[in-house]
Structure 1
């Protein structure tokens, strides 16, 4: 099932993002007053959200890697990002992987 993942104001950026997604996907334009926006629909998965560069998932990945390697990492930032990801999980009906916690 596809869900709205992001909205772009630029068609080229929307098409670039569309190419990065895996699974069912589409880009739909919508005209509002004098502006056109491009709604990106796709399978809501952590992988697709990561590919789009959303919700600081790349930064969160780096923190997880540092934590797993028993290296120093910013615990406050980790908790902050995890809080956002818990909200995202609820919005898209996703499970947070146990190794993220």
Structure 2
């Protein structure tokens, strides 16, 4: 398990925890007078998608448009892929070829 995200409130953290696949854990951490909630789980594109991270919902739309020969935002596609390359490196994931 790795830290996937951090939340400001327990409610946000618990809502995110409910969305992802096992194994998973929510841990609180106190810094001075503030408490933050760290979400730990398996780093996967599916979990990141469920959490609404890294514009994966937008990428899904772009990939569908591209696949169907429809016009799509090429600049946004490049931006998302660039970000995902960084994410993939940090979490030891591979970007699916059909996303490119």
Q: What is the match of residue 76 of structure 1?
A: 75
Q: What is the match of residue 85 of structure 2?
A: 86
TM-score, structure 2 as length reference: 0.98
* Cα offsets for 1:52-101 (capped at 9, x unmatched): 00011000110001000000001011001100011100010001011111
Structure 1: 5+ residue runs without aligned partners? Answer: none
1:14 positional shift? 0.2
Q: What is the match of residue 62 of structure 1?
A: 61
1:21 and 1:89 map into 2 onto residues whose CA distance is 18
Number of residues paired by the alignment? 100
Q: What is the match of residue 40 of structure 1?
A: 39
| RMSD (Å), alpha carbons | 0.5
TM-score, structure 1 as length reference: 0.97
**Which secondary structure state, in structure 2, belongs to the residue aligned with residue 96 of structure 1?**
coil
